[in-house]
Amino acid sequence: MEKTEQNDLLVNLDKVHTTELGVGRIRKNLNLDVEDVVKWCKGKIIKSDSITRKGKNWYVDVDGCILTINAHSFTIITAHKISQ
């Protein structure tokens, strides 16, 4: 992945958001017990050293999970644990 693509997600971190359904899906898939799911995800994005863009989505691989984020709207679509 080109460095500019990774920087594009990081530069636009303030635009990252999700829907109400997305919040529930992310909490369920990752077994999260946090008040602000988007804030939690943004922290993971900043921490990750593995951000790739494939087509219309970014995939952030960090701490045993993968976040899927739409590259155009900056919407967190889903997140899931990486199978061991």
- Coil/strand/helix, residue 72: coil
Who wins on pLDDT, 2 or 20? Answer: 20
Q: Calculate mean pLDDT across residues 10-28.
A: 96
Which pLDDT does position 2 carry in this prediction? 47
Which pLDDT does position 4 carry in this prediction? 52
In degrees, to the nearest 5, what angle opens at C-alpha 60 toward C-alphas 8 and 31? 135
**Residue 29 pLDDT > 60, yes or no?**
yes
Summary mean pLDDT of the chain:
91
Which pLDDT does position 1 carry in this prediction? 45
pTM for this prediction: 0.89
